[in-house]
Amino acid sequence: MAASASSLLADAASSSCGAISPRPRLLRGAPAAAFVPSPSRHSCCSLRASPARRHRSRFVASAVPTMQPPAESRVSTVVDVDLGDRSYPIYIGAGLLDEPDLLQRHVHGKRVLVVTNTTVAPLYLEKVAWALTHNNPNVSVESVILPDGEKYKDMDTLMKVFDKAVESRFDRRCTFVALGGGVIGDMCGFAAAAFLRGVNFIQIPTTLMAQVDSSVGGKTGINHPLGKNLIGAFYQPQCVLIDTDTLNTLPDRELASGIAEVVKYGLIRDAPFFEWQEKNMPELLAREPNALAYAIKRSCENKAEVVAQDEKESGLRATLNLGHTFGHVMAADMSHRLGWIDDSIKERVFAILKQAKLPIAPPETMTVEKFKNIIAVDKKVADGLLRLILLKGPLGRCVFTGDYDRNALDETLHAFCNN
Amino acid sequence: MAASASSLLADAASSSCGAISPRPRLLRGAPAAAFVPSPSRHSCCSLRASPARRHRSRFVASAVPTMQPPAESRVSTVVDVDLGDRSYPIYIGAGLLDEPDLLQRHVHGKRVLVVTNTTVAPLYLEKVAWALTHNNPNVSVESVILPDGEKYKDMDTLMKVFDKAVESRFDRRCTFVALGGGVIGDMCGFAAAAFLRGVNFIQIPTTLMAQVDSSVGGKTGINHPLGKNLIGAFYQPQCVLIDTDTLNTLPDRELASGIAEVVKYGLIRDAPFFEWQEKNMPELLAREPNALAYAIKRSCENKAEVVAQDEKESGLRATLNLGHTFGHVMAADMSHRLGWIDDSIKERVFAILKQAKLPIAPPETMTVEKFKNIIAVDKKVADGLLRLILLKGPLGRCVFTGDYDRNALDETLHAFCNN
């Protein structure tokens, strides 16, 4: 049997490499492009029970200016989400679905329900079922395959998950596994939160967006016809398993969607990461494995830090929604109109999004009126006041506030939308 | 303005009467029938800011053998549910809906959604809306009136609550109020848990069953076509407000349903309370106000103690489900077959239920096969094993266990159901 999660934790915590630093350790004066993974620095954290070497760490700056291949294959990193008795690890690496013990140590009970969709099932369902059951005859796996797409993130589709679990007579000692992108993770997580008032669940995100954002932090839910994510729960998984190999099958559009979230972390709280992205965007777009793995790791670390401080979004966590009410460019434009950031930051936001081939304007059909109606039901409205995440100060600083000049919001909406 | 909840707590905690005792203080040798409320012992806990006198207490034994009228009207008792930062008070008393400040101190934000049904709305909705808004012009109240009945405790009906909240553009700073029986409390609570991933809510139970059981402890949810309460959340209210005057409009059948839960507390953990019920059942059936108030208070105290020890039902809390898989009489019958209780306890269970005019057999249409199918999806099944709450030992003791002779279960099912 594999080492238990707790012994893995103990091993890492007692190692002398000090890999679990609360903040990234930066080498002063090192060039920005140097923030690349350096797995060879962490052999002290290797896991005897597994064929893979695994590094429980934030990240370590390196003076090597170019991307380096990992010393061996199947090197994984562990990022901890620190939430007291709801803490859990995020495993990041290539080929992690080929390591059954990683998943199996987080399964509770004998029965597993894999929730996935029609796009992902043909690609990875068999592999996941194998990983769950290999050398583990006590566990049986069932699956429910939902239609693919945001428009199915609704109550009717969610009911299919409950139907399957109830008809299969699942009890409280079971595990739900989300295999797919953000929609699947959000729906499976909410189903796990609500089925019998809460069963265990595991996230296996297969899109970059889900890997760097939606699978981490416990926000789950579905859409209401009048607004996104209006029904849901805060519910934490047992673990998040990110096999970066799954990105090889990801459409370009989906990759870009994930990169938008990666850019977000730089903008709201991590200027060095933003600078790294400015230099490494071509590698990210070319799906260079080390660049992707590093971007995922640094994104998860940023998210984990924020969530650990504010799990239920009473304040700080709301900053993670930059770009979710309106896009990064509109947030930058409005921040600039308010005089909160200088020209260069606004220009760099536009530039990096263009470089990432991301849109820098809403769809043609969007009008100011439509936009206002949509943001009126935004979850960040409190007592009728829309609070926004805006950039303020030097690169990597933002605020979450309802205290802004309404004219600046109007001007931004008019600058980007049709009347 | 009324005193805040925290100042009320501080007053009570700092009083010298020691009313918040972790366990009931029993006078040795006092007759069982003596467990009646004795409000005059607690004037040190009275609340200056309110016209009512209020007693934050467990209960105090009295040597007076008969029911006593309260010293004045509108005397309420407060039972605390101790759940750390999710703790809340249960207010119990006659005419509490005539005291606006009690409700208002627990409202968050400016907007309130009252969830009720077609039976309760004509009786109490206007009164509750008045209590929420009296001298409180900042708060606006909307309502959603659901059809009445267990068969509407489903996802379609729940969606009506979300629809109303979204269409009315409620934001996170709002309060849901459940006004009704167990179905309304469970649905409103789950809606509050899931709307925007959690908003504040208040329980105003209007049936005895809801007052003594379902409104306390944070279990919320809806039914699935294949089983009861299979979808839901553990979600605690801001307060529970029990106005015993609402029982004046309760049908006899609903009263009996509540008494079954009162009997449960005696059976599973409180022999003196069971003995009090044996002597005071006529008063309960006659809706004698003091008898009802005492039964409610003692039931809430028992439930609060259990929930405080085991909020998420990892063990102890499951004992509160006595009678929920099969009735009290079947549990007693099976316990007796197993040799776990003596003849007299079994007979007393039968006797008190007959006295309460409660059924002591399943419906005529129930067969052994049907029964087995239903209990197979019971939430207390774990890894395929049905765990039961059974009586064991002297009066007031029970166990929650899957370790019992299967033949005894079969014999009990055959003794009570058609083949």
Per-residue model confidence (pLDDT) at position B188: 98
Residue B56 pLDDT level (bands cut at 50, 70, 90): low
Per-residue model confidence (pLDDT) at position A56: 53
Give the mean pLDDT of B20-31. Answer: 28
CB B349 within 8 A of CB B355: no
Numbered residues of chain A with Cβ closer than 8 Å to any chain B Cβ? 109-110, 155, 159, 162-163, 166-167, 169, 171-173, 190, 193-198, 219, 221, 224, 226-227, 230-234, 312, 376-377, 379, 381-384
pLDDT higher than 50, residue B71: no
Q: What is the ipTM of this complex?
A: 0.81
pLDDT higher than 80, residue B37: no
Which of B173, B224, B312 lies at the smallest CB-CB distance from A162? B224
Query: What does pLDDT average to over chain A?
Result: 83
Per-residue model confidence (pLDDT) at position B418: 86
User: How close A288 comes to chain B (CA, Å)?
Assistant: 37
* B172:A379 CB<8 A: yes
Give the mean pLDDT of A335-357. Answer: 96
Give the mean pLDDT of B67-91. Answer: 75
Give the mean pLDDT of B8-33. Answer: 29
Give the amino acid at B24.
Answer: P
Give the mean pLDDT of A254-260. Answer: 95
**pLDDT > 90: percent of chain A:** 71
Per-residue model confidence (pLDDT) at position A74: 56
Residues A100, A128: Cα–Cα separation, whole Å: 9
Closest CA to B236 of B321, B153, B318, B176: B176
Angle at A242 between CA A241 and CA A243, to 5 degrees: 115
Tokens of A179: 């295999």
Give the mean pLDDT of B320-325. Answer: 86
Per-residue model confidence (pLDDT) at position A356: 95
Which of A159, A173, A233 lies at the smallest CB-CB distance from B382? A173
Per-residue model confidence (pLDDT) at position A12: 30
pLDDT higher than 60, residue A72: no
Instruction: Answer with the residue of higher pLDDT: B28 or B177.
Output: B177
Tokens of B110: 């400016």
Which domains, and CATH codes, for chain A?
A: 106-250 (3.40.50.1970), 316-416 (1.20.1090.10)
pLDDT digit string, tens, across residues A304-344: 999 999 998 888 999 998 888 888 999 999 999 999 999 99
Per-residue model confidence (pLDDT) at position B140: 97
With a CB cutoff of 8 Å and minimum separation 6, the contacts of B47 are: B3, B8, B11, B53, B54
Instruction: Answer with the residue of higher pLDDT: B73 or B93.
Output: B93
Per-residue model confidence (pLDDT) at position B75: 55
Per-residue model confidence (pLDDT) at position B154: 97
pLDDT digit string, tens, across residues A115-156: 999 999 999 999 999 999 999 999 999 999 999 999 999 999
* B198:A234 CB<8 A: yes
Which of A233, A376, A384 lies at the smallest CB-CB distance from B197? A233
**pLDDT > 70: percent of chain A:** 82
Q: How many cross-chain Cβ pairs, A to B, lie less than 8 Å apart?
A: 99
**Looking at chain A, which residue has its C-alpha nearest residue B139?**
A383
Per-residue model confidence (pLDDT) at position A8: 28
pLDDT digit string, tens, across residues B209-259: 999 999 999 999 999 998 899 999 999 999 999 999 999 999 999 999 999
Q: Buried (b) or exposed (e) across A19-34, using 16+ Cβ within 10 A?
A: bbeeebeeeeeeebeb
Per-residue model confidence (pLDDT) at position B33: 30
Give the amino acid at A221.
Answer: G
